[in-house]
Amino acid sequence: MKKLGLTLLTVMVLAPTLSYASCESVKADIQQKIIQNGVAESAFSLDVVPNDQAEQQGGLVVGHCENDQQKIVYKRTGDDNTGTSSQSVSP
């Protein structure tokens, strides 16, 4: 879970430099970074939405594209097959 948080933080910091890139290339870069941090591809979704609809998606904005006209929204799907658990286990 810490890796996911660090990944999302990194993406949000780098997102302004990617604002002029195409939405599909930015989305693919973000997706690869999340997967490289151990999150299964089936455990999340990334959606490109207009700025005014970003808050209605119920996820976390992790990037933007098309000159800041579109937002990329991250959502967990609950289908985590990574074998790791985000819950703490008490001894």
- Tens digit of pLDDT for each residue in 48-72? 999 999 889 889 999 999 888 999 9
Structure confidence at residue 1 (pLDDT): 67
Pairing assessment for the beta strands 60-65 and 70-76 based on DSSP bridges: antiparallel
Quick one: CA dihedral 27, 28, 34, 35, positive or negative? positive
Q: Say what angle helices 23-36 and 2-14 make with each other, to 10 degrees.
A: 150
- Tens digit of pLDDT for each residue in 4-15? 777 767 767 666
CB 17 within 8 Å of CB 10 = no
Residue 80: how many other CB atoms lie within 10 Å: 15
Q: Which residue has the higher pLDDT, 22 or 36?
A: 36
Kindly state the helix (H) or strand (E) to which residue 41 belongs, with its residue range: none
